[in-house]
Structure 1
Amino acid sequence: MEFKNDLDLAAYVAAHSVLSGTYKDLDGNVKVMLPSGAGSALDFDQFRKDTNPSITDTNPPVGADIYPGSLAKGEITERYLLSDIITDPSKVTNLVFQRDVGSKMNMVGDGLQFLVYIQKTVITKGVKGAISRLEINYDPKNVAKNGYYTTTSPVPMYIKGTSFKVDVPVEVPLDGVGENLGLANIKAPSITYTFKSDKSMDVESTQGYANDGVSDGITGVTYDVICEVVSTYSTQEAVTQLPDTVNLFNGSATGEIALAGATDYFENVMDGIEVTLDDYLYGLNETTRISIDQLGISKVIRIPKNYLIPVNKFKINTKYIELVKTNVNYKVVGVNGGNPKQLNYQEKTNSGSYTDKSGWQYYPSSNISALVKMSQGNIDVDISKGISILASGIWLNRVDTYYSKVIKITPYKN
């Protein structure tokens, strides 16, 4: 085909061209962009939504509970501890905040963050059985995860300060597939927050369940939402995360440890920090020591970023350390010029005693204590055990405390 001039050629090409393009969305599905409108323009707005969706597109709110950003990416900042009181699901728990939140909840940055979990109770033919802690899996796509309660409600929960009015309840249901137990009778649990005129907050749990619905004695489980930490929060742009090869601390220390490279609000430590302990708990002046393996203490502790809140402190023996409290066999060994006599102990019960070859009896003055405390960019991991001594029928006027040392701290990624 011949054309009189270049303009005719260009007009022919334009008239017979089909503008299109293909791409993959976030789920891996191939999508096609086709011309639309009088100008035959490609729909790049749909392309943007499919490949780089906004928070609203992928993390829709559930009532007042919103998803303001990713904690893992450092988009949540300025978390100040307001309460670490664990709520009681059997009654209304009043939380008195540790900081002034303002008479209109206007001194909390963007709002409040709530760390919650599920208290699960097994029921067999109408009889209540074992009670356990069940962690929550937040998944907007509502895909069940084994060993978790899956919900489409954002968890941790984030509620803007402007959503709170005095004496107006704010209820957040944990909608979703839950444990996906396949039972016929199901109700999602919820938790309600009510801001009070004295700037405190009432927290109340409404029980959910999953059971077989048998009228003369159901079998299944009940779910109660427990709130364990409340803090303020603000948002920011994502920050560069430190790799797990970076040592935030490397050495040997007790007490408060400054984390080199960690930001004040721990925004840049990926999913949390991994604490490595010394192989031993050490006694007075480090003259004696006990192997932590023999005490059943894990040498490596992972603390999720959720709990890395300045001024937060919590016992970790039920969350991150498996402590064996019965039938523990261990020995105290003299070191650094200390008593060279090896003392072999067996702890039969929490109130049991230990007897050495000289007839001295050693009693645990307390169970093993494990406590983590945070301040801005610092952490204190304190694990200790007290021992009282009875020698020849006479109590020695002392309690020997064996304490841990931290030798390394790094970020970690799940």
Structure 2
Amino acid sequence: MAIDDTIHQSRRRPKDRKQQIVAAAARQFRELGYGNVSMADIADDVGITAGALYRHFRSKQDLLLGAMWTTFEQFEGALGGTDVDLDDLLDTLATFSVEERAIGVLWQREARNLTEDDRQRLRRALRGISAGLAAAITRARPDVTPADADLLGWAVLSVLASPGYHAVDLKPDRFVAMLDQATRAVCAAGLTSTKSAAPADGPVADGDRSPLHPVSRRETLLSVAIRLFSHNGFQSVGISEIGAAASITGASVYHYFPNKLDILLVALNRAQETLWLGLHYALESAGSPSRALQSALRSYIEFGVRHPQLLNLMVTELLSVPEEERHALQRKQHAYMLEWASLLREQRKDLTAREADLLVQIAFALVNDLTRINHLHGRPTLPDDLAALCLGVLNVPA
């Protein structure tokens, strides 16, 4: 009888089984992309059957939503009431973000896989989190305007989400300390004075404007595809849809691109080459590592402000590319980042190579995120403000 009881206890589901499933799903969605992960993959990771997984979540989409709500609720819990000390709050959120590195990726890259109603619910929750951060910043800095506090709130979220987009790793205590320092630098940043109206909500820039198109049909197709991929996601856009939006018949599209993937690869490579050109100019025209780093930063900000849709593809669509091409793109990205890290270490001898890499990745995240938020795009001082935020995080003088 005692043996039977032992067997029964061993087969009993752990109390935290649902949390284990959510954690495994978030990790796999971050590393492999939502479209490349199956429910069976997640079940194998947790060590259960697919049937057992479906007892907790009806579908992969339901699991993605559950994973996102879990992180949002933890953030909201950390924000607490109206008297939370900003320093204590940043400490808590930095620890949480290092432990839960998938948090930013799930919202920024994978939310488009949810229904419109669920996206709207999550968007409202995200705006509430940002507003809570803005309120905490205002309590600590009563001199800031509502528009400035709003920008700083989104900037803090960007710093906290940044660990999900890179593989830089440090000892947990040091990682948390550096993320904490970065959020404090953001909150203390001196922004350019602006009299902008109170911010309106908005997610990623959607490119609904009606721009002029090039005379070249190939370039027109590329321009239209970048807009559609950015707005709807690469997997959701068909080649005929691209042709129709460019006023080119479906069959004629193949005269310019052999397939849809080739269009995406051209776009991603063009983005990377544009960034490299800006970096080369910074290196060639500057007389010191300090000037080169600031020139490179201005170049990156200018790219983000002028080409938010192209930047969005770099952030969200790399996992849509086959492994061989993806690794080639990642090698270029890594080499680009190392140039920045080298310039930073010339000025900050106190940093290890990994610490410099981490700070550069946070600076990239600030530009990547804040240039893709609609209502911030209307802020006339955004380029200067981004420079101030990034230089504060890098802790180098302007």
Fold match by TM threshold 0.5: no
Q: TM-score range, shorter-chain basis?
A: under 0.3
More strand by share: 1
More helix by share: 2
TM superposition score normalised by structure 1: 0.22
